[in-house]
Amino acid sequence: MCGIVGYVGYRDALGVVVDALRRMEYRGYDSAGVAILDGNGGIAVERKAGRLANLEAELDVADGAKFAGTSGMGHTRWATHGAPTDRNAHPHRDPSGKLAVVHNGIIENFAPLRRELEDAGIELLSDTDTEVAVHLVARAYAEGPTAGDFTASVLAVLRRLDGAFTLVFTHADHPGTIVAARQSTPLVVGVGQGEMFIASDVTAFIEHTREAVELGQNQAVVITADSYTVTDFDGNSDVTSRPFTIDWDLAAAEKGGHDYFMLKEIEEQPTAVADTLIGHFVVDENGGRIVLDEQRLADQELREFDKVFVVACGSSYHAGLLAKYAIEHWTRVPVEVELASEFRYRDPVLDRSTLVVAISQSGETADTLEAVRHAKEQKARVLAICNTNGAQIPRESDAVIYTRTGPEIGVASTKAFLAQVAANYLVGLALAQARGTKYPDEVAREFAELESMPKLIARVLDTAPQVRAIARELAHVPTVLFLGRHVGYPVALEGALKLKELAYMHAEGFAAGELKHGPIALIEDGLPVIVVMPSPKGRAVLHSKLLSNIREIQARGARTIVIAEEGDDTVRPFADDLIEIPVAPTLFQPLLSTVPLQIFAAEVAQARGYDVDKPRNLAKSVTVE
SS (H, E, C) 319-341: HHHHHHHHHHHHHCCCEEEEEHH
The CATH classification number of 461-616 equals 3.40.50.10490
Position 92 pLDDT exceeds 80? yes
Q: Kindly state the DSSP code that residue 184 receives in the 8-state scheme.
A: B
Average per-residue pLDDT for the chain: 92
Side-chain-facing half-sphere of 12: CA atoms under 13 Å: 9
pLDDT of residue 508: 95
pLDDT grade, residue 620 (50/70/90)? Answer: low
Same topology between domain 255-438 and domain 461-616: yes
Give the pLDDT score at 600. Answer: 98
Give the pLDDT confidence score for residue 470 in this predicted structure.
Answer: 97
Name the class of domain 255-438.
Answer: alpha beta
Tens of pLDDT, residues 33-70:
999 998 678 899 999 999 899 999 999 988 878 899 99
Q: Are residues 399 and 294 in contact, defined by beta-carbon separation less than 8 angstroms?
A: yes
pLDDT above 90: residue 254 = no
Q: Does position 281 have pLDDT exceeding 70, yes or no?
A: yes
Q: Evaluate if residue 285 carries a pLDDT over 80.
A: no
pLDDT at residue 25 in the model = 80
Distance CA 425, CA 431 (A): 10
Strands of 99-107's sheet, edge to edge?
92-93, 99-107, 163-171, 178-183, 219-223, 228-232
User: What is the topology classification, in CATH, of domain 3-246?
Assistant: Glutamine Phosphoribosylpyrophosphate, subunit 1, domain 1 (3.60.20)
| Whether the predicted pLDDT of 220 surpasses 60 | yes
* Residue 295, pLDDT score: 76
Q: What is the pLDDT of residue 510?
A: 94
Helix axes 130-142, 150-158, angle to 10 degrees: 130
- 17 versus 409: which is more confidently predicted? 17
The more confident residue out of 160 and 248 is 160
Buried b (16+ CB within 10 A) or exposed e, 252-282: bbbeeeeebbbbbbbbbbbbbbbbbbeebbe
In this prediction, what percent of the chain has a pLDDT beyond 70? 97
For residue 289, the model assigns a pLDDT of: 87
Q: If you average pLDDT over residues 415-436, what whole number do you get? A: 96
pLDDT value of position 63: 83
Max mean pLDDT among 236-245, 406-415, 485-494 falls in 485-494
- As a whole number, mean pLDDT of residues 354-383 equals 94
Mean of pLDDT values over 437-453: 94
The domain segmentation of the chain, as residue ranges, is 3-246, 255-438, 461-616
pLDDT tens-digit profile of 154-192? 999 999 999 889 999 999 999 999 999 998 788 999 999
pLDDT score recorded for residue 161: 95
Q: Which pLDDT score is estimated for 142?
A: 95
* CB distance 563 to 518 below 8 Å: no
Task: Indicate whether 624 pLDDT > 60.
Answer: no
pLDDT higher than 60, residue 395: yes
Contacting residues for 459 by C-beta, under 8 A, at least 6 apart: 581, 582
What would the mean pLDDT of 71-88 be, rounded to a whole number? 90
Q: Which parts of 172-318 are beta strand (E)? A: 178-183, 188-191, 196-199, 211-214, 219-223, 228-232, 242-245, 281-282, 289-290, 294-295, 307-312
Catalytic amino acids?
2, 620
Q: How confident is the model at residue 1 (pLDDT cuts 50, 70, 90)?
A: low
Mean pLDDT of 460-489: 96
Instruction: Give the lowest-confidence range in 295-304, 464-473, 543-552.
Output: 295-304
What pLDDT, on the 0 to 100 scale, is given for residue 407? Answer: 81
Of the given ranges (382-391, 393-402, 458-467), which has the lowest mean pLDDT? 382-391
pTM assigned to the model: 0.78
Residue 222, judged by CB atoms within 10 A of its CB (0-12, 13-18, 19+), counts as buried
pLDDT tens for each residue of 96-137: 999 999 999 889 899 999 999 999 999 999 999 999 999 999
- Above 80 in pLDDT, residue 249? no
CA separation for the pair 622, 199 (Å, rounded): 16
